[in-house]
Amino acid sequence: MSTIKDKIEAVKAAIVKRPLYCNGVVRLDAKSSKIFYEKEDHTAGVLSVASANATQLEDLNKSCLPATFGLSSKDVYDESYRKARKMDVENFAINFDLHAFGIIDAIRKELLEGPNPEKVIKAELYKLNVYDEGSFFKAHKDTPRSENMFGSLVISFPTPHQGGKLLLRHDGEEWAFDSADILSKYEAPFAAWIAFYSDVEHEVTPVVSGHRVTLTYNLFYGEENEIPRDLGTLQDSSFATQSFILQTAIASLLQDDRVLPKGGYLGFGLRFMYPAFGRKGTSGLQNVLTQLKGSDALLKHVCDTLSLSITLEVVLKSSEEPCLVLVPEALDFSGTEVDSSWEWFLSDKGAKKVYDWESPHTSWRYETIMWITPPTVFPTYDSPYVAYGNEAVLSHVYGDICLVARLGPINRRETAGRPASPGYSM
Ligand SMILES: O=C(O)CCC(=O)C(=O)O
Ligand SMILES: [Fe+2]
């Protein structure tokens, strides 16, 4: 018989990494390659990204402004962190139709795979950027502009340049998107695009020569009542296989009477971060369940299939007992008086204390949790959310959360209702 540790490892291994970016190329034509823009002297300029020469590109570059980035709640200009130029959307126009190029459909299929294929995606044009020789953007995450924002899209044009690779990093892995290299393989003018979850760390390496011209878009989930366009793509088969494997591994844990025999929680640290602020109350955080990305979405799908009751929780270290505190809503401790009784602050928030299943300490009052993948645990009352990104905003920053499934006792695993909140009312 395999040990519980083996079974936990099997579940971990079955939470496979789903892609966190997708990319492609599109063929430009006369209509989609012209940029009309406002020059410094307020006259109009025009250039074709398919055929612009160095003088025309320098003209566009000069009409841009230095690009800032967000540091906590301020937009700052610092050439040691970001050297690039930008133009805001009110100062240029381009007839680049993401839907007609099939880019939106590709993102829906490849990034919102699985249970999300019919989600409406809204892409909001954000900036035009010019990276000339020596320009770069050091590692950052893109600032979420609302709680519905899930990704970023970059279009890179075939303007002559070398360098300026976009590097993505997550969980110790790195991917390179070298649009200059990709586009140099085509004789006809193409644009290269990449969409990625915006909480994935990324950087632009220095441009060695020429002008790297890009458009950036913010990607949002649209409103429920918006009609999806071209709902052609459906479930991909790898998702179905992966969810079957994960389901089998979790089911094997649930059937094991050594695993939380009296019931308790299975806990999963999530792979991605989600915009947290502005999600008021418990329902605000729980709405993230409909917006999970990649393998986090896979996990939710499997828990739903197994009829497990799941919630999202912020995890804090208890200051009172050797256990953790799960809180089902996004927390903002700023402005809160911090004293030794800070945990009472959580009493009306459905917080619950949980002991690790292997802990030598237990309490008859609190439940037990078995972590499958480790959570990010925030030290007591420090604000669990940090703000850093490509633009300063006060209202939306990313938060680390975990997913917990509440289990009933052996043979009645799925009977546990919504997680109760023991602990604070006594
Ligand atoms: O130009 C790129 O490839 C990425 C730019 C970027 O990360 C940003 O503007 O936030
Ligand atoms: Fe960025």
- Please state the ipTM of this predicted complex: 0.99
Least confident piece of the model among 67-71, 124-128, 222-226: 222-226
pLDDT band at residue 418, thresholds of 50, 70 and 90? very low
The verdict on residue 426 lying in a domain is no
Answer with the one of 202, 221, 240 that is the final residue of a domain: 221
Higher pLDDT, 164 or 415: 164
Answer yes or no: do 41 and 166 share one domain: yes
Q: What is the mean pLDDT of the chain?
A: 84
**Domain membership flag for residue 141:** yes
Report the separation in Å between the CA atom of 228 and the middle of ligand 2, taken as the mean of its atom positions.
27
pLDDT band at 72 (very low <50, low <70, confident <90, very high): low
Model pLDDT, residue 417: 52
- Residue 252, pLDDT score: 92
Ligand nearest to the CA of 23: 1
pLDDT of residue 355: 94
Distance 120 CA to ligand 2 centre (A): 23
DSSP string, 23-72: EEEEE--TTTTEEEEE-TTS-EEEEETTT--HHHHHHHHHHSEE--EEET
Whether residue 19 contacts residue 295, with contact meaning beta carbons closer than 8 Å, is answered with no
| Top-confidence residue, 334 or 295 | 295
CA of residue 375 to ligand 1 center, whole Å? 29
Question: Are residues 298 and 207 part of one domain?
Answer: no
Q: Give the residues surrounding ligand 1 with Cβ less than 6 Å away.
A: 129, 137, 142, 154, 166, 202, 204, 214, 216, 390
- pLDDT (tens digit per residue) in 329-340: 876 655 555 455
Q: What percent of the chain is predicted at pLDDT more than 90?
A: 54
Among 183, 375, 145, which residue's Cα sits nearest to residue 278? 145
Same domain, 269 and 355: yes
Looking at the fold, whether 261 and 386 belong to one and the same domain comes out as yes
Structure token pair of residue 198: 């915006």
Residues forming a β-bridge with 21: 196
Least confident span in 226-235, 243-252, 354-363: 226-235
Flag whether pLDDT at 136 surpasses 60. Answer: yes
* Domain termination site, one of 221, 246, 269: 221
Which one-letter DSSP state was computed for residue 13?
H
Residue 412's pLDDT is 86
- CATH number of the domain bearing residue 57: 2.60.120
pLDDT of amino acid 424: 41
Per-residue confidence (pLDDT) for residue 421, from 0 to 100? 43
Are both 33 and 172 inside the same structural domain?
Answer: yes
Distance between CA atoms of residues 261 and 245, nearest Å: 24
Domain boundary among 193, 221, 249: 221
User: Given a cut of 90, is residue 124 above it in pLDDT?
Assistant: yes
Query: Rounded CA gap, 184 and 159, in Å?
Result: 10
pLDDT above 60: residue 420: no
Statement to judge: residues 104 and 159 lie in one domain: yes
**What is the domain range of residue 201?**
21-221
Q: State whether 263 and 406 are in the same domain.
A: yes
Q: Name every residue whose Cβ is closer than 8 Å to that of residue 347 and which is 6 or more positions away in sequence.
A: 424, 425
323 and 183: one domain? no
For residue 229, being part of any structural domain is answered with no
233 in any annotated domain:
no
Alpha carbon 14 to its chain centroid, in Å, reads 21
Ligand 1 atom nearest to CA at 140: 7
Q: Are 80 and 143 members of one domain?
A: yes
Residue 17: pLDDT band (50, 70, 90) is: confident
**Nearest listed ligand to the Cα of residue 141:** 2
Q: Is the pLDDT of residue 221 over 60?
A: yes
Q: Which residue has the higher pLDDT, 149 or 424?
A: 149
Q: Which of 193, 405, 412 is nearest to 299 (CA)?
A: 405
Does residue 295 lie within any of the structural domains?
yes
Model confidence pLDDT, tens digit, residues 267-290: 999 999 888 666 667 777 888 898
Strand order in the sheet with 44-48: 44-48, 34-38, 92-94
| Per-residue model confidence as pLDDT tens digits over 176-219 | 999 999 999 999 999 999 999 999 999 999 999 999 999 999 99
pLDDT (0 to 100) of residue 97: 95
Contact 197/272 with Cβ under 8 angstroms? yes
Q: Which atom of ligand 1 is nearest to the CA of 127?
A: 9
Across 357-381, average pLDDT: 82
State mean pLDDT over 32-36: 95
Query: Which of 129, 193, 219 best tests ligand 1's pocket when mutated (most atoms within 8 Å of CB)?
Result: 129
* pLDDT exceeds cutoff 80 at 226: no
Q: Taking 60 as the threshold, does the pLDDT of residue 15 lie above it? A: yes
Q: Is residue 174 domain-shared with residue 305, that is, in the same domain?
A: no
Confidence of residue 246 (pLDDT cuts 50, 70, 90): very high
* Domain assignment present for 27: yes
CA 142 to centroid of ligand 2, rounded, Å = 5
Residues 268 and 211 in one domain: no
User: Which of the two residues, 76 and 359, has the higher pLDDT score?
Assistant: 359
32, 142: one domain = yes
Q: With respect to residue 247, please indicate whether it lies within any of the assigned structural domains.
A: no
* CA 297 to centroid of ligand 1, rounded, Å: 26
pLDDT at position 111 over 80: yes
List phi, psi (to 5°) of 14. -80, -15
Residue 390 CA to ligand 2 center (angstroms) comes to 6
Q: 234 pLDDT exceeds 70?
A: no
Q: What is the CA radius of gyration of the chain?
A: 24
Nearest ligand, measured from the Cα of 193: 1
Query: How many domains are there within the chain?
Result: 2
Q: What is the pLDDT of residue 339?
A: 52
* Ligand that lies nearest to the alpha carbon of residue 137, given by its number in the listed order: 1
